[in-house]
Structure 1
Amino acid sequence: MASLDDISVTEIKGVGNALAEKLAKLGIQSMQDLLFHLPHRYEDRTRVVPMGSLRVGDVAVVEGEVMKTDLVMGRRRSLQVTLKDGSGFLVLRFFHFNAAQKNQLGEGTRVRCFGEVRPGRAGYEFYHPEYQTNPPPMPDASQATLTPVYPLTEGIQQPRVRSLCQQALKYLERHPIKDWLPAELLADYQLPCITEAVKLVHSPPAGAPVHLLVEGRHPAQQRLVMEELLAHQLSLLQVREQIQAREALPLLPTGDLTERFLEELPFKLTGAQRQVMSEIRQDLSQPVPMLRLVQGDVGSGKTVVAALAALQTLGAGAQVALMAPTEILAEQHYTNFKGWLEPLGIPIAWLSGKVKGKARQQALEAVASGEARVAIGTHALFQDEVAFNRLALVIVDEQHRFGVHQRLALREKGVGGSLAPHQLIMTATPIPRTLAMSAYADLDTSIIDELPPGRKPIETVVVPDSRREDIIERVRSACREGRQAYWVCTLIEESEALQCQAAEVTAQELTERLSDLKVGLVHGRLKAQEKADVMAQFKDGELDLLVATTVIEVGVDVPNASLIIIENPERLGLAQLHQLRGRVGRGEQASFCVLMYHPPLSMNGKARLQALRDSQDGFVIAEKDLEIRGPGEVLGTRQTGLMQFRLANFERDKGWIEPIKEMAPSLMKQPRVVDALIRRWLGEKIRYGDV
Structure 2
Amino acid sequence: MADSGKKARAPLTLESDVTYLKGAGPAISTRLRALNIYAVGDLLFHLPLRYEDRRQHQPCARLRPDQEALVRGRVVDVDVRMAGRRTLRVVIDDGTGALTLRFFHFNNAQRDAFAAGRWVQAYGAVRVGLSGPDMVHPQYRIADLPETLQPDDTLAPIYPLTTGITQPRLRALIGQALELAQRDATLTAHWPELDGQSTLDALRTIHHPKGEVEALLARTHPAQLRLVREELLAHQLGMRLLRQRLKAKPAIAISNAQAAVAELIQTLPFTPTGAQQRVLAETARDLTQTRPMLRLVQGDVGSGKTVIAAAALLAAYRHGAQAVLVAPTELLAEQHARTLGAWLEPLGITPLFLSQRVKKKAERQAVLDALAADAPAIAVGTHALLQDSVHYARLALTVVDEQHRFGVQQRVALREKGGARAPHQLTMSATPIPRTLAQTVYADLDVSIIDELPPGRTPVTTVALPNTRRDEVIKRLGAAIGQGRQAYWVCTLIEESEELDAQAAEAAAALLREQLPQVQVGLVHGRMKAEQKDTQMRAFKDGISQLLVATTVIEVGVDVPNASIMVIENAERLGLSQLHQLRGRVGRGAAVSQCVLMYQPPLGEMGQARLHTLRDTTDGFAIAQRDLELRGAGELLGRKQTGDIGMRLADPMRDAELIPPLQQLADHWLQHRPQLAQQLIKRWVGDPAQYAAV
TM class, shorter-length? 0.7 to 0.9
Query: Match for residue 313 of structure 1?
Result: 316
Which residue pairs with 1:460 in the alignment?
Answer: 462
The CA distance in 2 between the partners of 1:300 and 1:124, in whole Å, is 46
Partners of 2:640 and 2:560 in 1: how far apart? 29
Q: Map 1:30-429 to 2 at 5 A.
A: 30-49=39-58, 59-61=68-70, 127-129=138-140, 144-175=153-184, 177-178=186-187, 183-186=191-194, 190-205=195-210, 208-253=211-256, 257-358=260-361, 359-370=363-374, 373-414=377-418, 417-429=419-431
Amino acid corresponding to residue 337 of structure 2 in structure 1? Y
The answer (yes or no) to whether the contact 2:404–2:642 under 8 Å persists in 1 is: no
Deviation per residue, 1:53-75 (Å, 9 max, x gap): 556765445567x8899998998
Aligned residue type for 1:212: A
CA contact (8 A) 1:252 1:285 kept: yes
CA distance in 1, matches of 2:624, 2:661: 23
Q: Is the CA contact (8 Å cut-off) linking 1:507 and 1:521 kept in structure 2?
A: no
Matching residue's letter, 1:409: A
**For the structure 1 residues 471 and 173, does the alpha-carbon distance in structure 2 shift closer, same or farther, using more than 3 Å as the test?**
closer
1:489 match: 490
Aligned counterpart, 1:504: 509
CA contact (8 A) 2:512 2:521 kept: yes
TM-score by length of 1: 0.85
| Aligned mates of 1:62, 1:538 — CA distance in 2 | 51
Structure 2, gaps ≥5 residues long: 1-9
Paired residue type of 2:392: F
Given the superposition, is the C-alpha separation of residues 152 and 2 from structure 1 closer, same or farther in structure 2, using an over 3 Å criterion?
Answer: same
Given the alignment, which residue of 552, 569, 572 partners 2:571? Answer: 569
| Deviation of 1:665 (Å) | 1.7
Any conservation in 2 of the 1:400–1:636 contact (CA below 8 Å)? no
1:184-241 per-position Cα deviation (integer Å, ceiling 9, x unaligned): 313xxx4422121111111123xx2222110111011111111112222222222222
Q: What is the CA–CA distance in structure 2 between the aligned matches of 1:607 and 1:67, rounded to whole Å?
A: 38
Provide closer, same or farther for how the CA distance between residues 524 and 115 of structure 1 changes in structure 2, counting only shifts above 3 A.
Answer: closer
Task: Provide the rounded CA distance (Å) in 2 between the counterparts of 1:166 and 1:131.
Answer: 30
Partner amino acid, structure 1, of 2:21: I
Matches within 5 A, 1:483-632: 484-492=485-493, 500-502=505-507, 504-506=509-511, 508-509=513-514, 511-512=516-517, 515=518, 520-524=522-526, 528=530, 531-532=533-534, 535-536=537-538, 538-539=540-541, 544-554=546-556, 556-632=558-634
3-state SS, counterpart of residue 321 of structure 1: strand
Is contact 1:236-1:442 (8 Å) kept? yes
Aligned ranges 1:669-688 → 2 under 5 Å? 669=671, 670-684=673-687
CA change 1:381–1:506 in 2 (3 A) is: farther
Distance in 2, matches of 1:562 and 1:444, equals 35
2:439: which partner in 1? 437
Residues 122 and 525 of structure 1: CA distance in aligned 2, closer, same or farther (over 3 Å): closer
Q: 8 Å contact 1:236–1:689 — kept in the other structure?
A: no
> Which amino acid is the alignment partner of residue 205 of structure 2?
L
Q: Does the residue aligned with 1:353 lie in a helix, a strand or coil? A: coil
Unaligned runs of 5+ in 1: none
1:520 touches 1:543 (CA, 8 Å); kept in 2?
A: yes
SS at match of 1:388: coil
For structure 1, which segment, 113-122 or 40-49, has the greater mean C-alpha deviation from structure 2 after superposition? 113-122
Deviation at 1:479, TM superposition (A): 4.6
Distance 2:265 2:413 in 1: 33
Q: Equivalents in 2 of 1:136, 1:427: separation in Å?
A: 58
Query: What residue in structure 1 maps to residue 3 of structure 2?
Result: none
CA RMSD of aligned residues (A): 4.0
Equivalent position amino acid for 2:675 in 1: R
Q: Is the 8 A contact 1:475 1:485 kept in 2?
A: no
Other-structure match for 1:661: 663
Do 1:405 and 1:689's aligned partners in 2 also have CA atoms closer than 8 Å? no
> Matched residues in 1 for 2:572 and 2:57: separation?
36
Larger CA deviation: 323-332 vs 452-461? 452-461
3-state SS of 2:379 partner: strand
Paired with 1:347 and 1:124, the residues of 2 have a C-alpha distance of 62
**Residue type of the alignment partner of 2:193:** L
Question: In 2, distance between residues paired with 1:567 and 1:289?
Answer: 45
Aligned residue for 1:426, secondary structure, equals: strand
User: Does structure 1 retain, via aligned residues, the 8 Å contact 2:18–2:39?
Assistant: yes
Amino acid at match of 1:203: H
State the TM-score, normalized to the length of structure 2: 0.85
Summarize the Cα distance change of 1:106–1:164 in structure 2 as closer, same or farther, 3 Å threshold.
Answer: farther
- The one-letter amino acid of 2:169's match is R
Asked if structure 1 preserves the Cα contact closer than 8 Å seen for 2:16 and 2:39, the reply is: yes
Which string of whole-angstrom CA distances, capped at 9 and with x for unpartnered residues, describes residues 474-519 of structure 1? Answer: 445545555x32222212475899955245325523651xx2x665
- Structure 1 residue 256: Cα displacement: 5.4
Q: Distance in 2 between matches of 1:109 and 1:521?
A: 49
CA distance in 1 between counterparts of 2:678 and 2:650 reads: 20
C-alpha contact 1:368 1:389 (8 A) present in aligned 2:
yes
Tell me, in whole angstroms, the C-alpha distance in 1 between the residues paired with 2:601 and 2:118. Answer: 44
SS class of match (2:614): helix
Q: Which amino acid aligns with 2:154?
A: T
Secondary structure of 1:423 counterpart: strand
Give the SS at the match of 1:668: helix
Q: Would you say the 8 A contact 1:92–1:129 is kept in 2?
A: no
Is the 8 Å Cα contact of residues 503 and 570 (structure 2) preserved in structure 1? no
AA partner of residue 15 (structure 1): A
Shift of 1:406: 1.6
Query: Is the Cα contact below 8 Å between 2:509 and 2:523 reproduced in 1?
Result: yes
Aligned to 2:451: 449
Identity %: 49
Letter aligned with residue 198 of structure 1: L
Distance, in Å, in 2 between the alignment partners of 1:520 and 1:612 is 27
Aligned residues: 674
Residues in 2 aligned to 1:558 and 1:122: alpha-carbon distance in whole angstroms: 44
Alignment-derived partner of residue 7 in structure 2 = none
SS at match of 2:655: helix
2:32 matched residue in structure 1: 23
Provide the rounded CA distance (Å) in 2 between the counterparts of 1:221 and 1:273. 42
Q: 582-591 or 536-545, which moves further after superposition?
A: 536-545
For 1:300, the aligned partner's letter is S
Structure 1 pair 605–321 and aligned structure 2 pair: CA distance change class (3 A): same
C-alpha separation in 1, matches of 2:123 and 2:545: 56
The C-alpha deviation readout for 1:629-677, integer Å capped at 9, x for no partner, is 3334433563537343322234433332333223222222233122211
In the alignment, the residues of structure 1 paired with residue 689 and residue 555 of structure 2 have an alpha-carbon distance, to the nearest angstrom, of: 28
